[in-house]
Amino acid sequence: MIYLPSRIFFGANALQNAEAYLIRLGTKPLIVTGKNSAKLSGALDELIPVLKKNNADCAIFDRVQENPSWDTVREGAKFLKDSQCDYLIAIGGGSPLDAAKAMALITANNLIEEDKITPDKFSHTFPLAAIPTTAGTGSEVTQYSVLTDASTGIKAGLGTDLAFPKLAICDPRYTLSLNNTITLYTAIDALSHLLEGIFSNKRQPLLYPLIQAGIDAIMKNLEIALNSPSNIQARTNLMQAALYGGITIAQTGTTLQHSLGYPLTTHFGIPHGLSNGIVLKQVIELYYPYLKPELNNLFLSLNITRKDFEEWLEKFPLKVELELSDEFIESQIPIVLASHNMANNPLTVTAEDIRKIYKNLK
C-alpha cells in the first residue's frame, strides 16, 4: 500500500506551476523558516511576489533552528495563533519543514500548552506547503516531524497522516547556494532514506525502482555537485533522489540507522546526515545476513557490488573524532531501543548490537 497525499511540483517552474494550488490553501500564510536558508536559496524572494500578486497578506516566523526543539515549536505555534494565519508555507531544510508540521498540528488542536503530545490528540491541522532548500530530508513528502525535547535531550519523530504537506514545491535552483558540507550531509541523509526503504521490514517492491534510481542518482551526481556546486543537472538529480527518499520512508519508516544517529546529534551536535553516514557501514554489516537477497538485488540493479558501494562511500569525509564513553553508550541504549523506528528493523536488534556499533565509532 502506498499513501502519498502531497501534490508534488518539481523543476525550475515548480513555484509557478504550484501557484494556483498554493493560493487556494487559505487566505493568509505563515511562512516558517530558519534564519538564512529562505533568503539565501532565493525561495523567499520568489514567493513574496507570488503572494503579493494574489493579494495575500502573510506573516513570517524565521526562528527555527537546526534540530528544532519543542520549545521552538510552541513559540511558533503561539505566533501562528496570534498572526491569524490559516495556512503555512515552510521553506528550508528538514528543520523548518518539521517544525511547521508540528506548529500546525498543535495550534489547530489547541495543544500549545499541553505537555505530552501524541498523534492521537490530533483531529485536524492547517494546510502546509513545503519548499525544500536542501536535497536530503524528504520531509516535503512525509508525515513525520522530528523534534528534540530539550529537557531530556531526546530527538524523536512524530508521525501522523495529517502532517503530510498538501504541496511539495521542489525547485533544484534553491539548492545551488548550499555549501559542500551541507550538500554532502544532506545527500547522505537521502541515501540513508533510500537504503532504509530496503532495510525496513515494511519494504515494498513497488518502491524499488524509485530506490534504485535515487541511489544511482546520488552515486553518479554527488561528486559532480561537490566539485561544481552550480551544476544544475547534478543538483536536479540530487533533489530528485531526496524526493524519492522521502516518498520511500513515508511508506517504510526509517530504521536503526536513524535511531543510532539521533543521540549523536543531540549530545554532540553531529549533523543529521553525518550521523547517519558514520554508522551506515556497520548497519549494513548487521543487516546483511537478514537481507542478502534484497541487498544483493539492489547492488545488482545498480551494476555494482557491496564492496563498490562501500568504497564509493569511503571517498567522502564522513568521519568524526568521537570518543563515546561507556557511560554514555549505556545511557543511550535504552533510548535507542525505545525509539519508534526500531519496529522496522529486519531483525530484533539487541542492546549488544547497539553497544558494538557505538564502540566501533571510537
CB of 272 to Fe ion, least distance (A): 6
Query: Looking at beta carbons only, is 19 or 189 nearer to Fe ion?
Result: 189
On whether the CB atoms of residues 9 and 169 are closer than 8 A, the answer is yes
Nearest to 54 by CA among 18, 81, 90, 84: 18
On whether the CB atoms of residues 246 and 133 are closer than 8 A, the answer is no
* Alpha carbon distance 326, 331 (integer Å): 8
Q: Three-state DSSP class for 298?
A: helix
Q: Which residue is nearest to Fe ion (CB)?
A: 189
Distance, C-alpha 231 to centroid of its chain: 23
Query: Looking at beta carbons only, is 41 or 142 nearer to Fe ion?
Result: 142
CA distances from 159 to 68, 147, 180 (A): 16, 11, 30
Nearest to 29 by CA among 123, 110, 104, 137: 104
Task: Please report how many Cα atoms fall inside a 13 Å half-sphere around the Cα of residue 354, on the Cβ side.
Answer: 29
Cell numbers placing 187: 545527500
CB of 334 to Fe ion, least distance (A): 22
- β-pair type (87-92, 128-132): parallel
Binding site for Fe ion (CB under 5 A): 189
CA dihedral (266, 267, 269, 270) positive or negative: negative
CB of 189 to Fe ion, least distance (A): 4
Longest dimension (CA), the chain: 59
CB of 238 to Fe ion, least distance (A): 15
CB of 25 to Fe ion, least distance (A): 26
Query: Looking at beta carbons only, is 98 or 189 nearer to Fe ion?
Result: 189
* Alpha carbon distance 158, 279 (integer Å): 23
CB of 10 to Fe ion, least distance (A): 20
Query: Looking at beta carbons only, is 9 or 144 nearer to Fe ion?
Result: 144
Query: Looking at beta carbons only, is 29 or 34 nearer to Fe ion?
Result: 34
Query: Looking at beta carbons only, is 131 or 194 nearer to Fe ion?
Result: 194
CB of 31 to Fe ion, least distance (A): 23
